[in-house]
Amino acid sequence: MLIDLSGRTALVTGSTQGIGRSIAAGLASAGARVAVNGRRQESVEAAVAGLSEETGSDRFIAAPGDITTDEGARQVTQAAPEVDILVNNLGVFGATPALEITEEEWRRYFEVNVLAAVRMIRAFLPRMKDRSWGRVLNVASDSAVVIPAEMIHYGVSKTALLGVTRGFAKDAAGTGVTVNSLIAGPTHTGGVEDFVYELVDRELPWEEAQRRFMVEHRPQSLLQRLIEPEEIANMAVYLSSPLASATTGGAVRVDGGYVDSILP
């Protein structure tokens, strides 16, 4: 399939590292101009420079700002005022015993994992509808469906994000704008490496630690390994393209078969 996003502008939140960075690279490789977002100016500029060198592309622009705040969101929209493709990737996760999760942590997870996405959708969806074309993609997680015992606050926030997706897809019905969730499975990022070592012996070499983590904590994965960020990005690029014009209101799985379901 030929995916051509030439002439389109994308914004990927939380894209200085991990899955977001890979999605930004994939969109640029397909021809899109991509706004890279993070909280700090320095990290965003470093990511833009690194992505430009790695991809041989000059399609990246800096859009720093903490989108969990109104002021930060304004900074981002000023840097990227016209967005055709919005990828809400920003998220936090971590292991905490269920009864030890404080109300403050519950609120933080909803601010970052849910309300930041809502804030960005409200900022960009109206103009997409006016132009009769747009893509909104919310990066969710298998944890939205299979709530993990070690981080129920994360799982529940991602469940809420699935509801946000379906609701805004209905708002955009018939406009040419699609709104979807991408259900990412256990993915190999720096943050996940730290998370794995919270649950298994830190003295283990990485390959053995990963294997033990999958066996002990994610045994239902059919892939039986962590997913690489580029594999998530491939689906994100497709859902951002004209080829996915009939897919909206959905929760599309890139989970390595982790969710035990015959439905998408």
Burial grade of 16 (CB within 10 A; 0-12, 13-18, 19 or more)? buried
CA distance 16 to 5: 21
Beta bridge partners of 34: 10, 60
CA distance 184 to 144: 10
Q: Exposure string (b/e) for 240-260, b if CB count within 10 Å is 16 or more?
A: bbeebeeebbbbbbbbbebbe
Residue indicated by tokens 């990290």: 43
Contacts of residue 230, Cβ cutoff 8 Å, sequence gap at least 6: 22, 26
Burial grade of 97 (CB within 10 A; 0-12, 13-18, 19 or more)? exposed
**Amino acid identity, residue 68?**
T
CA distance 78 to 163: 28
Token pair for residue 140? 């969710």
Kindly list the catalytic residues.
154
